[in-house]
Amino acid sequence: MMLIPYKLETTFTRIPYANAALIAITSIIFFLPEQIFPMADKQSLVLHDWEVSSLLGNMFLHGGFWHLLGNMLFLWIFGNAICATVGDFAYIFLYLCLGVIAGVVHLVVDGHPAIGASGAINGVVGMALVLFPRNKIHSWYFLAIPFIWLFKAGRFATKAYWMVLYWLVFDIIGSMGSPDGIAHWMHLGGFAGGMIIALCALKFNLIETYHLTFFDMLAGRTEEDELARTMALEGQFAIGTPAGFIAPQLEETSDPFSTSPASPAPPPPPIPIVPDIQLKRCVGSGTLITLYIVNTGASMNSLSLKVPQGVTAQISQSKCLRRGESGWIRFSTTDTSIDSIEFIIAYRDSANTPHKIRFRCIPQSSSLEVVSTA
């Protein structure tokens, strides 16, 4: 059976330019003709000794088209998530460091000449396992059993930690002496380096993510529990209650035979009863802008966008934007510059009541204001 991932569900707060640049540079180097990039120069970059050029250069060499395609697919899926989380400059530094760590482990344990970005990419996958263990990975699968003429293909989604552990098992088995020509120790070294770096970054609050992390999973917190708790609180404190309506207070009757008056219940903690969309960053200008937003208020379900004619819009979160979660909204036109735009976010609250919020955004001043609500 073959598994090919194609999407990791994460919320992007930045555009991962650096990861796209790494993919482009690595691909261009592979397709450079012999006249521009001679074989002798390629041989000097093969990982075979402790030279810095060898430890860094091997990440940009690949043995064939399918080797390149597989690595770049994984780098696109997982690298975009990590790059958007840590930022472009930090990502480039981390990627090169993870490649060096993978190369050092390979030289110490294996020692055979090796090429490929898979060591650094496995480091990125290791970071993703720590930062997004419960996020879903969408994959294609192909199952073929020729003896019984069984051929089946389809798609499925599962938690990231299951898929990553599935791949990790194959590298562990391969590192025991499987003659498949794959540098398994490079994979394992990069993966371990990525996990350690991500764990340390979380421990010392060097990375901010809006998803449940490895530490959250160890503490027993789940997205389902968080969503249920948020919904229960919002329902308890009158989400969607008409303005001016005051809910009747119930007297405490835990002891019906008591002659002393019941003590009043403590006031509920203040929580937002309406969404509060804040603009974190506005990227782009002209015909393409992206708004990175965070919801600091009540949860929003079944989101949809309404925009002026001639404008195309996308939103990262269509099912739910819970309290504390971030996302992005992207507007684009064919030839008209977006100097100012009004748009509507339609949503449903926890009581399934429909609402609309009209916003006005001015990209040049990175401002986002509420025009009206309904």
pLDDT score of 83: 94
Q: Residue 116: pLDDT above 90?
A: yes
Numbered ranges of CATH 2.60.40 in the chain: 277-373
Percentage of the chain modeled with pLDDT above 90:
34
pLDDT score of 24: 97
What would the pLDDT profile of 267-318 be if each residue is shown by its tens digit?
Answer: 555 556 788 888 888 887 788 888 888 888 888 888 888 888 888 888 876 6
Residues 6+ apart with CB under 8 A from 333: 287, 288, 310, 311, 312
Instruction: Tell me the pLDDT band of 265, cut-offs 50, 70 and 90.
Output: low
What would the pLDDT profile of 29-51 be if each residue is shown by its tens digit?
Answer: 999 998 899 988 889 999 988 99
Numbered ranges of CATH 1.20.1540.10 in the chain: 2-218
Q: Residue 326: pLDDT above 60?
A: yes
Q: Residue 364: pLDDT above 70?
A: yes
pLDDT score of 373: 85
Q: Which fold has domain 277-373?
A: Immunoglobulin-like (2.60.40)
More confident residue, 235 or 320: 320
Across residues 315-332, what is the average pLDDT? 80
Across residues 351-360, what is the average pLDDT? 88
Pick the most confident of 149-153, 226-230, 253-257, 344-348: 344-348
Q: Residue 266: pLDDT above 90?
A: no
Q: Residue 255: pLDDT above 80?
A: no
Write down the CATH superfamily of domain 2-218: Rhomboid-like (1.20.1540.10)
Instruction: Tell me the pLDDT band of 258, cut-offs 50, 70 and 90.
Output: very low
Instruction: Tell me the pLDDT band of 242, cut-offs 50, 70 and 90.
Output: very low
Strand 312-315's sheet: what is its strand order? 277-285, 288-295, 326-332, 312-315
What would the pLDDT profile of 60-95 be if each residue is shown by its tens digit?
Answer: 999 999 999 999 999 999 999 999 899 999 999 999
pLDDT score of 309: 80
Instruction: Tell me the pLDDT band of 367, cut-offs 50, 70 and 90.
Output: confident
Across residues 4-13, what is the average pLDDT? 83
More confident residue, 5 or 14: 5
pLDDT score of 93: 96
pLDDT score of 261: 54
Q: Residue 54: pLDDT above 80?
A: yes
More confident residue, 322 or 26: 26
pLDDT score of 3: 85
Across residues 101-115, what is the average pLDDT? 92
More confident residue, 171 or 244: 171
Instruction: Tell me the pLDDT band of 240, cut-offs 50, 70 and 90.
Output: very low
Q: What is the rounded distance in angstroms from the CA atom of residue 168 to the CA atom of residue 46?
A: 25
Task: Give the residue from 213, 210, 188, 187 showing the smallest Cα distance to 200.
Answer: 213
Pick the most confident of 80-89, 211-220, 347-356: 80-89
